[in-house]
């Protein structure tokens, strides 16, 4: 008798389904996957396989720079691997100088350990039940960063043994590189006269000067913050490289400047002059060969007024830059001329001075 293949195929399916149903009926749902067969859960620090660079483009971890407090805050995290029940645990944190010492043996002379007394990390992290992990901040104090200009500082953040689960030995350390010079990006020094306190922190003001901000009723043109004389008497603003070192610790001397002032369309040197000192402010000499660009501003309806840009390099060894707003008595000009709106100073160790077209 010929075999009916369709009947046989359905018969096999019925037998297989019955066997599977019997098997499942004899097995509890929770026991379908044996927990002992799962990988053991482990605690790790996020991004342990990547060096976090400050500054730098990092795929794991971020940082912020508080310029006023002179601190870096690095944002890291701790996590837990595995599919087990998420129970609470705690894990200690520390700075591992031994790891840094081993790294430095291969990195070379341009790398130094980040002083451990300038690093702050939490002593312990607590991860609650049901949580996958927590983030934490590493605080780097930059108050002595000027001692390490041109060097990369290295630190290692370590996890200790957690109170629950095991520690992932290959994921328990995060290495951080820090370079102060690269962080600042070799900036120029800029004073836009938005704050008397800022100007007086880096310069001395001899004479009576007023500061007007955008939005102030007396700022008639309302185009920029500015400094101006309060009377006919001259005002002398003197920038000191020694004071600038509080902001730019690698500045060793002044190399050039770019000054912006608003004034009537006259000889700018009849209203102001620029001087320099190479003997720590004991004596001053006039800066020669200043390049002057004059940009008319007819959009303000003031065809007789000009934006002046004064630029020049400074001699080697310059320690002070002076800007004098000259006495205008008897000139027929308003006493507040000219309006000083921006001073940009270049220095040795930063961006080299070069002429810039306004």
**What pLDDT, on the 0 to 100 scale, is given for residue 40?**
77
Model pTM? 0.55
Distance of CA 195 to the CA centre of its chain: 21
Which residues of the chain are under the pLDDT cut of 70?
A: 1-39, 83, 186, 215-223, 246, 249-250, 297-303, 335
Q: Contact at 8 Å (CB) between 82 and 206?
A: no
Phi, psi (rounded to 5 degrees) for 110: -80, 0
CB environment 98-107: b (16+ within 10 A), e (fewer): ebbeebeeee
**What pLDDT, on the 0 to 100 scale, is given for residue 220?**
56
Model confidence over 188-226: pLDDT tens digits? 889 999 889 899 999 999 999 989 887 666 655 656 788
**What pLDDT, on the 0 to 100 scale, is given for residue 35?**
53
The CA angle 349-354-358, to the nearest 5 degrees, is 130
* Cα gap 98→221, rounded to integer Å: 61
The CA angle 321-327-331, to the nearest 5 degrees, is 135
**What pLDDT, on the 0 to 100 scale, is given for residue 245?**
75
**What pLDDT, on the 0 to 100 scale, is given for residue 314?**
97
**What pLDDT, on the 0 to 100 scale, is given for residue 12?**
39
Q: Is 102 helix (H, G, I), strand (E, B) or coil?
A: helix
* Cα gap 267→301, rounded to integer Å: 20
- Alpha-carbon separation of residue 166 from 43, 79, 81, 162 (angstroms): 6, 12, 10, 7
Q: Which domains does the chain have, with CATH numbers?
A: 42-184 (2.60.40.1740), 189-347 (2.60.120.260)
Model confidence over 284-333: pLDDT tens digits? 999 999 999 998 866 555 557 889 999 999 999 999 999 999 988 887 77
- Alpha-carbon separation of residue 202 from 40, 238, 285 (angstroms): 59, 9, 20
**242: enclosing H helix or E strand:** helix 241-244
């Amino acid at each position: 008798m010929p075999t009916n293949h369709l009947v046989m195929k359905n018969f096999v399916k019925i037998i297989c389904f019955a066997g599977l149903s019997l098997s499942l009926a004899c097995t509890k749902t929770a026991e379908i996957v044996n927990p002992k067969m799962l990988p053991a859960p482990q605690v790790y620090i996020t991004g342990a396989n990547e060096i976090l660079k400050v500054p730098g483009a990092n795929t794991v971890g971020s940082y912020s720079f508080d310029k006023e407090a002179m601190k870096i805050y690095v944002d890291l995290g701790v996590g837990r691997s595995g599919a087990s029940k998420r129970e609470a645990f705690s894990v200690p944190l520390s700075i591992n100088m031994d790891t840094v010492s081993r790294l430095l043996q291969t990195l070379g002379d341009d790398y130094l350990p980040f002083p451990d007394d300038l690093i702050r990390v939490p002593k312990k992290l607590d991860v609650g039940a049901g949580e996958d992990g927590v983030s934490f901040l590493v605080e780097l104090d930059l108050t002595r960063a000027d001692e390490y200009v041109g060097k990369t500082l290295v630190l290692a953040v370590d996890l200790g043994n957690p109170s629950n689960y095991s520690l992932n030995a290959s994921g328990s350390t995060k290495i951080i590189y820090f370079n102060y010079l690269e962080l600042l990006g070799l900036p120029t020094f800029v004073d836009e006269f938005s704050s008397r306190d800022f100007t007086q922190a880096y310069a001395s003001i001899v004479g009576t000067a007023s500061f007007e901000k955008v939005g102030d009723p007396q700022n008639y043109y309302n185009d920029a913050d500015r400094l101006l004389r309060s009377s006919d008497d001259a005002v002398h603003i003197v920038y000191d490289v020694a004071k600038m070192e509080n902001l730019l610790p690698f500045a060793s001397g002044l190399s050039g400047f770019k000054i912006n002032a608003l004034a009537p369309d006259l000889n700018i040197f009849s209203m102001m002059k620029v001087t320099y000192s190479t003997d720590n402010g004991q004596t001053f000499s006039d800066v020669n060969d200043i390049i002057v660009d004059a940009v008319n501003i007819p959009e303000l309806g003031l065809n007789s007024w000009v934006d002046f840009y004064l630029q020049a390099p400074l001699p080697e060894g310059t320690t002070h830059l002076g800007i004098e707003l000259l006495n205008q008595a008897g000139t027929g000009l308003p006493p507040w001329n000219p309006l000083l709106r921006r001073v940009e100073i270049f220095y040795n160790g930063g961006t080299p001075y070069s002429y810039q077209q306004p």
